[in-house]
Structure 1
Amino acid sequence: MDRVQQREIIEFIISRREEFQNKLLSEAVEVAPKINDILQSGNIDLLKNAEKMVTYVVERKENELISFAKQEGIAWAEHSLTLTLKLEWVHAIRRTVWHYLFKYDQLNTHVVSISDYRAMIYEMETQINDGIDNFLNSFFISYSSYKDELISSQRKIVEHLSAPIIPISPHIAVLPLIGLIDVYRMDTIEEKILMDISNLKIRTLIMDLSGITDMDIEVIHQFQRVMSGVSLMGCEAVITGLRAELVRKMINLDISFDEYASTKGTLQQTLADYLDANLI
């Protein structure tokens, strides 16, 4: 399609906007009843956006089309709208566009050879379908990327909450650890410990491991490096509540925390020692 024909098609559709929208809604059986809810909850105007998408596709505005698809992907991901609805909506747009291209062709008959007509139809089909497919591809990538970032961010928040450093005096804090600790969580714990030692001016950090039943070898080595980091920050590390299973594994691996931390039996005993010593 040349530019004149592209503009004619867009004007043809816009001049029949209400008819076009009704046809589109009739094609999108599942989406149509939800269109107002989507507008109210996500401020996403499906009908207006459909017209914008069609304009970009017909006029071959690829950069604008891809940018718009990315915006749509983020908007749908932000408001947890399902991909099933989006897929049905875009396919409904595709069918509706072809319906109006057929009507446009009927009203604008040109005297051309059969071979030229077939070539024109083939070019039009390629342009429309490729444009819509490019939109879908960019939309899905944007949607998926945003969801992945959101999940990662939420997981990081949860991990930070699962490693609460509790100040019990101006310079002493307690870090109770429970549950499974993997390499990812240990990275989060390391970041939080070192940041809080600096920000809270912690001089003594008591780490209670009574809620930890086991650690992988890699995690134990990483925990040892965390203890080294605590020491380098000028902070005294105290480890309490080591379980027998974990101690046996450390003995077999010839791993010790003695160089970087002192160990005590229970958190209660440790707090009592500091209270008795008037350090709190």
Structure 2
Amino acid sequence: MEAEATYVQKDDVIEFIRANREIFEKKLLSEAVNVASKIHDILQRGNIDLLKNAEKLVGYIVEQDEESLIAFAEIEGFAWAEHSLTVAFKLEWVQAIRRTLWQFLNQFEIMNGTFSDKNDFFELEKRINDQVDQFLNTFFLSYTKYKDELLNSQRKLVEHLSVPIIPISTSVAVLPLIGMIDEYRMQIIEEKVLMDISRLKVQTLIMDLSGIADMEKNVIDHFQKVLNGINMMGSKAVITGMRPELVRNMIHTGINFVQKAETRGTLQQTLRHYLDIEKMM
């Protein structure tokens, strides 16, 4: 197949590749068999033109435009992550670009005889391979960064949904807390509580802790600061359902919620109490 290909001769490598674009693309597709069958799907799914981008990447590599190469890799990493495209395809595609570029450089050398010294060739080999590796490294860092940010965003959304502030009247709301409360979740609770007190105009927030067995000392300390924030927002905090394990831990750590919030036995008793007060008003 290569013997039948008729190359247009050019004195510049980039011009040589552009003048022989059809041959380059044909060789590239033959090198990346698995990706070749997915080119149309990737274009439809992510509006990513693999052949056009391959030519752009080769241009940055040959012209040693490292700044543009890194910026392009970051954009590519973001796009592939955003559209959940398979990174294995990307790796196969870039390695196919590397092999195809070297085939073209070999053909360019045959037609132009540019490498009079083998040291020149080895220097070129190192430079080009280093830039391909730089592209891949930057691509994967960008891809991973986007995926990590997406996971954190999804986790934060789930955590927000696990902090349900439920209005039971025009001025009273309930926050039932269940499960493990770590420092990260306490930050979500702080953010959600302060935002919803302002949004819902909550005057009394009943926080039911019956679904929490225990808290670490740093989490208890953070919770106390949340109670401070509730008071600063002009709202009253009422805590119900504290279990013996949690109370014991508070005693031993010297932290007490009593000065920051009213404490009551059960959520049912507390709701009855505050709803009766509202009826009397």
Same fold (TM over 0.5): yes
Q: Deviations over 1:106-148 (max 9, x none)?
A: 11135x7xxx421321232122112212211221221122122
More off after superposition, 180-189 vs 11-20: 11-20
Query: Shift of the alpha carbon at 1:6?
Result: 9.8
Q: Distance in 2 between matches of 1:18 and 1:169?
A: 72
**Percent of pairs with identical residues:** 61
Query: How many angstroms apart in 1 are the aligned matches of 2:162 and 2:238?
Result: 19
Aligned to 2:51: 47
**Secondary structure of 1:30's aligned partner:** helix
| d(CA) in 2 for partners of 1:140, 1:247 | 48
Number of the residue aligned with 1:109: 113
- Deviation at residue 253 of structure 1 after TM alignment: 2.6
Alignment of 1:11 with 2:21, yes or no, is: no
Please tell me the residue identity of whatever aligns with 2:240.
T
- State the 1:86 CA deviation: 1.4
Give the TM-score normalised by the residue count of structure 1: 0.91
Match of 1:59 in 2: 63
- Contact 1:39–1:46 (Cα < 8 Å) also in 2: yes
With over 3 angstroms needed to count, the CA separation of the structure-2 counterparts of 1:221 and 1:6, relative to structure 1, is farther
How many residues were matched structurally?
272
Q: Which amino acid aligns with 2:113?
A: T
Deviations 1:153-195 (A, max 9, x none): 2221111111121222222211111111100110111111112
TM-score by length of 2: 0.90
SS at match of 2:33: coil
Please tell me whether the aligned partners of residues 171 and 204 of structure 1 are also in contact (alpha carbons under 8 angstroms). yes
Partner residue in 1 for 2:270: 270
- Distance (whole Å) between structure 1 residues aligned to residue 146 and residue 268 of structure 2: 45
Question: Partner of 2:74 in structure 1?
Answer: 70
Instruction: Decide whether aligned partners of structure 1 residues 70 and 276 sit closer, same or farther in structure 2, where only a CA change above 3 A counts.
Output: same
What is the CA-CA distance between 1:232 and the residue it aligns to? 2.1
Question: Partner of 1:205: helix, strand, or coil?
Answer: strand
Alpha-carbon distance between aligned partners in 2 of 1:26 and 1:264, rounded to the nearest angstrom: 74
CA contact under 8 A between 2:11 and 2:112: conserved in structure 1?
no
Distance of 2:100 and 2:179 partners within structure 1:
54
Equivalents in 2 of 1:46, 1:250: separation in Å?
Answer: 60
Q: CA RMSD in A?
A: 2.0
- 1:16 positional shift: 2.1
In 1: Cα distance, 2:28 partner to 2:148 partner: 32
- Greater shift after overlay, 45-54 or 127-136? 127-136
SS at match of 2:157: helix
2:189 and 2:85 mapped to 1: Cα distance? Answer: 34
Q: Name which of structure 1's ranges 185-194 and 16-25 shifts more when overlaid on structure 2.
A: 16-25
How far the C-alpha of 1:60 sits from its partner, in A, is 1.5
Contact in 2 for aligned 1:27/1:92 (Cα 8 Å): yes
Unaligned runs of 5+ in 1: none
| Structure 2 contact 10–16 (Cα < 8 Å) conserved | no
Partner-residue secondary structure (3-state), 2:262? strand
Would you say 1:212 and 2:216 are equivalent positions?
Answer: no
SS state at 1:81 partner: coil
Q: Distance in 2 between matches of 1:207 and 1:267?
A: 9
Which residue type is aligned with residue 200 of structure 2?
A: L
Preserved CA contact (<8 Å) 1:165 1:173:
yes
Structure 2 alignment gaps of length 5 or more = 1-8
Q: CA deviation at 1:237?
A: 0.4
Question: What's the secondary structure of 1:77's corresponding residue?
Answer: helix
Tell me the distance in 2 between the aligned counterparts of 1:224 and 1:120: 69
